[in-house]
Amino acid sequence: MEKLISLEIDGKEVKAREGMTVLEAAKEAGIEIPTLCYHEKLEPYGACRICSVEVERGGRTQVVASCGYPVEEGMKIKTRSERIDQIRKTIIELIAPSLSDGGVVGKVRELADEYGADTSVFMSTFKATPTRCILCGQCVRYCSEVVAANAIGFVGRGVERRVVFLPERASRFCPTCRECYEVCPTGKIAAETDGSIFPEFSIDDFLSGKM
Amino acid sequence: MPRINSFAELEKLREEIKTKRDPNKPCISVSSGTCGRASGSESVYEGLQSQLEAQALKGEIDLKRTGCLGFCERAPLVMIYPEETYYTKVKPEDAAEIVQSVKEKKIIERLLYSDPVTGEKIVRESDIPFYKNQQRIVSGPNRWIDPKNIGDYLYIGGYSALSKVLSQMTPDQVLGEIKKADLRGRGGGGFPAGRKWEETKNALGEPKYVIVNCDEGDPGAYMDRSLMEGNPHSVIEGLVIGAYAIGSHEGFVYVRQEYPLAVENLNVALEQAEEYGFLGENILGSGFNFHVKVHRGAGSFVSGESSALMTAIEGKAGEPRMKYVHMSQRGYKEKPSCLNNVETWAAVPFIINKGSDWFNSIGTEGSKGTKIFSLVGKVNNTGLVEVPMGMTLRQIIYDIGGGIPKGRKFKGVQTGGPSGGIISERYLDTPIDFDELTKIGSMMGSGGMIVMDEDTCMVDMARYFINFCCEESCGKCIPCREGLRVLSGILTDICEGEGKEEELQTLERIAEVMKDASLCALGATAANPVLTTLRYFRDEYEAHIKDKRCPAKVCKNLITYYIDPEKCQACMICLRNCPTGAIQGGKNLVHWIEQEKCIKCGICYQVCPERFDAVEKLSGEPVPAPVPGREVVRKKE
């Protein structure tokens, strides 16, 4: 039998199974924590940080990503606070310029409204071409962990990071799969491929950054 | 050399090495770390070698390459044993004279270090102020050892700590000693090494791994490089001792590819250690087995972060992962893994040999032992310094570093690399240890110490570190990647005179979110240079924004080059060197700058002869109108 753990989320007594994350425990208890890079079929990734919550343990408060933080006996979680709201607002504002090309719509728009984020505040300092990709890595991880095709990957580092199709793998798997269309939260993948037949990939496209 | 199969055999071998060596035989040693080699130590070595041959003294005088001696400012460095005569800035042409002088037991005055204040010539290394005020424990043996010769390490007592541990101590006793010594991780975080070892030891899961982090990447920092190049056996010995305490039989050394000499010397050392029986199966006949693999990094700063480093060793891209479960519980391949930095491992044999009480007697309440810093930037004596914890910044910069060059004024010191902060003059008397530096907004980090003088613009400096992290962040999490992007954008605007006052608050707000919500320590600390400069040098930010003035006269958009007509002697030098033809005037005619053509490259400022000193940088003040065709007023010589 799995061990049951009691914890407190937003003042509510919650029971969770050992090994669960705070996010999963909250979900089961009907408490919503926003996410952008989380996908229930995938391993916790912890990249968007929008699911940050405050954890109180032994008198110390710490901000953690709820998607990866394991539940512990007696822990106290706050899913909303001034500090958390500020974090979420700032994250939305920071990611918005990447999306500005297609407009900030969908989930990010909803979150912006919820947390009072000004999606244009960092537009002038962005100084890069909006990619419509928030680098949540769901496509990359889904392609690897669920489809096991490994046709999508990251290249570049820091502000140069981007998602690419890996030519040899993509030309083999993508034409008949396209599951990443559904996974992509910004709709970039579906919008940028023609939808009928996946383009032929060449190593040149890959190296030149066209893909 | 057959493997050493017992502790007695090791001591027998050591005795043999000692008997064979005559301590009075002259030896010329050349400091041959990467820094020495960059200054030409290899040609000095070759010069000495051919001179020894030419003068037929090969049998009478030994010659060897050692690791870095630390005083990089004066490289190439040559030491003559047994007298410990210390020669600086040696050239290959000096070789004949050096060999001659060693033979005749004379001293070459002109190659000695001369005190810049008193002019006094100093013969011995230990009398030079740069060394006199240091306590070189971990870095000290570098001067005795040819890193490619295990015999040198054995001669000075190498592997005796390992022998002691395996023959006389239980793993728990070793662990207890390290815990008692209160050794804190030298790589940056200052986490107690003993606690990390214990957590790994007690963690469920087999096998357990021990790992050396030699992915040093802070700008201007090279402590680990010098240890790995100069004394790799001390790191290996520390690692095997740790493995024994933890119960690990497999380890890794993660070393950056950009350190070719460190990789080379490490590999030679590992081979020799294996051959002699300090590694492999049944070490020193104790029954303990331990194997090490070298993993070369692929040029990534963030791979120095523990979870990223372990991911990289697994063969994946070196990106950090969430560490809510410690690496000591679930690290490399999800198994308990203990990662310590080079300097931490290298301290272990000393603690074992001399005891935790000895180690505890050095340093401060919360930080024991010594720490190696790389003292660089605007300081006279650049190099690696090892000092007891608790020494003040002032002692390091002035007593050891010899102060600021050219009589310039001290402005700040950056400690802890891109994750650290820039500390102002009023904190110069802060005793440096892990906790004190954190209190004033910086951190110990791995020991980088970049000194800045009045010609350094603090906004520009903050921008430099932020841009460094923009490139070196893995880009995985939003607060770090996008936060750095915005910080860089705002700082660039300020440096270009386009900054707005309210943006200072934005900088602080983003920095706060990065600190709270980033995935790893790189993101959580990346904004420190911004936060500390805002805290200690806010007036500089304000000058850039409100007065469009760069007080240090660094930010191009905010400065104007101007030729003082009273000082200009119409020597034509700047006029000829200006790449855009912006300088007007001519022979006997005072030169002046056509501002529309000026690209602010600063060449005129650099080439104007010091005795005229006519080119000035102006910032935030009106530029006097030029008077074309004005005749020069000759200065009386």
Q: By mean pLDDT, which of B122-126, B280-284, B418-422, B593-597 is the weakest?
A: B418-422
pLDDT over threshold 90, residue B635: no
Percent helix, strand, coil in chain A, to 5, is 35, 20, 45
Rounded to whole angstroms, the Cα distance separating B474 from A103 reads 26
Interface test with A, best of B466, B513, B522 (most A CBs within 10 A): B513
Residue from B454, B449, B453 nearest B437 by CA: B449
Contacts A159 to B, Cβ<8 Å = 470-471, 473, 475, 481, 484-485
- CB-based contact A87 B513, cutoff 8 Å: yes
Q: CATH number, domain at A44?
A: 3.10.20.740
Nearest by CB to residue B486, choosing from A49, A86, A122, is A122
Least confident segment among B38-42, B114-118, B578-582: B114-118
Is A149 inside any structural domain? yes
User: Chain A 33-52, CB below 8 Å of chain B: which residues?
Assistant: 44, 46-50, 52
Write out chain B residues lying below 8 Å of A154, CB-based.
317, 475
Q: For residues B151, B156, B161 and B164, what is the CA-based torsion angle, rounded to 10 degrees?
A: 90
Contact A94 B483 (CB under 8 A): yes
CA dihedral for B115, B42, B103, B151, sign (positive or negative)? positive
In contact, B246 and B171? CB cutoff 8 Å: yes
Please report whether residue A132 resides in a domain: no
Tell whether A157 and A177 lie within a shared domain.
yes
- Residue in B199, B308, B291 with CA at minimum distance from that of residue B251: B291
Q: Are B142 and B64 in contact (CB under 8 A)?
A: no
Q: What pLDDT score was predicted for residue B118?
A: 85
Q: Does residue A62 sit in the same domain as residue A18?
A: yes
**Do residues A154 and A171 share a domain?**
yes
- Dump pLDDT digits (tens) for B240-283: 999 999 999 999 999 999 999 999 999 999 999 999 999 999 99
A133 in any annotated domain: no
Alpha-carbon distance B250 to nearest alpha carbon in chain A (angstroms): 28
- Nearest CB to A159: which of B317, B321, B475? B475
Residue A105 and residue A62 in one domain: no
Give pLDDT, residue B498: 95
A104 interfaces chain B, CB cutoff of 8 Å: no
User: Mean pLDDT for chain A?
Assistant: 88
Q: Report ipTM (2 d.p.).
A: 0.94
- Put simply, the answer to whether A91 touches B519 (Cβ < 8 Å) is no
User: Looking at chain A from residue 148 to 177, which residues have their Cβ under 8 Å from any Cβ of chain B?
Assistant: 154, 156-161
Listed residues A98, A126, A154: the one ending a domain:
A126
Whole-angstrom CA distances from B183 to A65, B177, B341, B424 are 31, 10, 12, 29
Count of pairs with CB atoms under 8 A, one residue in A, one in B: 112
Chain A CB contacts of B476 below 8 Å: 47, 135, 137, 161
**Token code pair at residue A76:** 């106290």
B21 pLDDT tier (thresholds 50, 70, 90) = very high
Kind of pairing, strands A76-78 and A52-57? antiparallel
The answer to whether position A182 is within a domain reads yes
Query: Residue B110 is encoded by which pair of tokens?
Result: 């002109």
A86 touches chain B (CB under 8 A): yes
Going by the DSSP 8-state scheme, the letter that residue B397 receives in this structure is I
List helix spans (H) across B277-316: 306-313
Rounded to 10°, the helix B478-495/B503-517 angle is: 160
Give the residue on B whose Cα is nearest the Cα of A135.
Answer: B476
Residues A10 and A52 in one domain: yes
Residues A111 and A157 in one domain: no
Question: Which domains are present in chain B?
Answer: 21-125 (3.40.30.10), 150-359 (3.40.50.11540), 370-453 (3.10.20.600), 458-546 (1.20.1440.230), 557-619 (3.30.70.20)
**Interface mutation target, options A66, A123, A159, A160, chain B, most CBs of B under 10 Å:** A159
* Residue among A42, A49, A69, A91 with most chain B CBs within 10 A, to mutate: A49
Asked if residue A107 and residue A164 are part of one domain, the reply reads no
Does A131 fall in a domain?
no
Q: Which helix (H) or strand (E) holds B483?
A: helix B478-495
What is the residue type of B592? Answer: W
Q: Is A129 exposed, middle or buried (0-12, 13-18, 19+ CB in 10 A)?
A: exposed
What digits encode the pLDDT tens for the residues B87-122?
999 999 999 999 999 999 999 999 999 988 788 999
Same domain for A88 and A74:
no
pLDDT value at residue B79: 96
**Residue A103: which domain range?**
83-126
User: Do the chains contact at B477 and A161, CB–CB below 8 Å?
Assistant: no
A178 in the same domain as A113? no
CA distance A185 to chain B (A): 15
| B140 vs B151: CA distance, rounded Å | 17
pTM of the model: 0.93
Do residues A50 and A89 share a domain?
no
Q: Does B313 touch chain A (CB under 8 A)?
A: no
The pLDDT value recorded for residue A196 is 47
- Burial class of residue A121 in the structure, from the number of CB atoms within 10 Å of its CB (0-12 exposed, 13-18 middle, 19+ buried): middle
Contact A161 B519 (CB under 8 A): no
Residue A200 has pLDDT above 90, yes or no: no
Decide if B524 touches A, using CB distance below 8 A: no
- A156–B481 CB contact, under 8 Å: no
In a domain, residue A179? The reply is: yes
| Burial zone of A40 (CB within 10 Å; 0-12 exposed, 13-18 middle, 19+ buried) | exposed
- Give the count of beta carbons closer than 10 Å to the beta carbon of residue B495: 21
- C-beta atoms of A65 and B322 within 8 A: yes
Residue with tokens 């007023």: B633
Residue indicated by tokens 């990223």: B308
Task: Give A98-129 pLDDT, tens digit per residue.
Answer: 987 656 778 889 999 999 999 999 988 888 88
**Bridge-partner residues for A21, per DSSP?**
A70
Pairing outcome for strands B27-31 and B62-66: parallel
Q: With CB atoms and an 8 Å threshold, state whether A94 touches B475.
A: no
The mean pLDDT value for B583-608 works out to 95
Which secondary structure element, helix H or strand E, spans residue B543, and what is its range?
Answer: helix B538-546
Q: Looking at the structure, do residues A76 and A112 belong to the same domain, yes or no?
A: no
pLDDT at A2 over 80: no
A72 and A9, same domain (yes or no):
yes
**B227 touches B342 (CB < 8 A):** yes
Tokens of B514: 């990065």
pLDDT tens, position by position, A35-69: 999 999 999 999 999 999 999 988 899 999 999 99
Considering the domain boundaries, does residue A170 fall inside one?
A: yes
B327-344: average pLDDT: 96
Number of domain units in chain A: 3
Q: Which of A88, A91, A94, A118 to mutate to test the interface with B (most CBs of B within 10 A)?
A: A94
Tens digits of residue pLDDT in B428-480: 999 999 999 999 988 888 899 999 999 999 999 999 999 999 999 999 999 99
Q: B453 forms bridges with which residues in the sheet?
A: B410
Which tokens hold the place of B45?
Answer: 């070595």
Confidence of residue B636 (pLDDT cuts 50, 70, 90): low
Of B471, B513, B516, which has the smallest distance from its Cβ to A158's Cβ?
B471
Strand partners, B264: none
Helical packing angle, B193-202 and B171-181, nearest 10°? 150
Which of A63, A80, A97 is at the close of a domain? A80
- Distance in Å, alpha carbon of A179 to nearest chain B alpha carbon: 22
Average pLDDT across chain B, whole number: 95
Contacts of A34-39 with C-beta under 8 Å, sequence gap 24+, read A34/A88, A34/A111, A34/A114, A35/A67, A36/A95, A36/A107, A36/A108, A36/A134, A36/A136, A36/A185, A37/A67, A37/A136, A37/A137, A37/A138, A38/A67, A39/A138, A39/A141, A39/A142, A39/A183
What would the DSSP string read from start to end of B514-542?
HHHH-SSHHHHHHTHHHHHHHHH-HHHHH
The C-alpha torsion from B18 through B21 and B24 to B29, rounded to 10°, is -110
Cβ within 8 Å, pair A158-B484: yes
Cα–Cα distance for residue pair B156/B167, rounded to 1 Å: 20
- pLDDT category at A197 given cuts 50, 70, 90 is very low
Which of B324, B486, B518 shows the shortest C-beta gap to A125? B486
For A55-59, B202-206, B612-616, which range has the lowest pLDDT when averaged over its residues?
Answer: A55-59
Higher pLDDT, B410 or A203: B410
Residue A21 placed within a domain: yes
Q: Taking CB atoms and an 8 Å cutoff, what residues of chain B touch A156?
A: 475
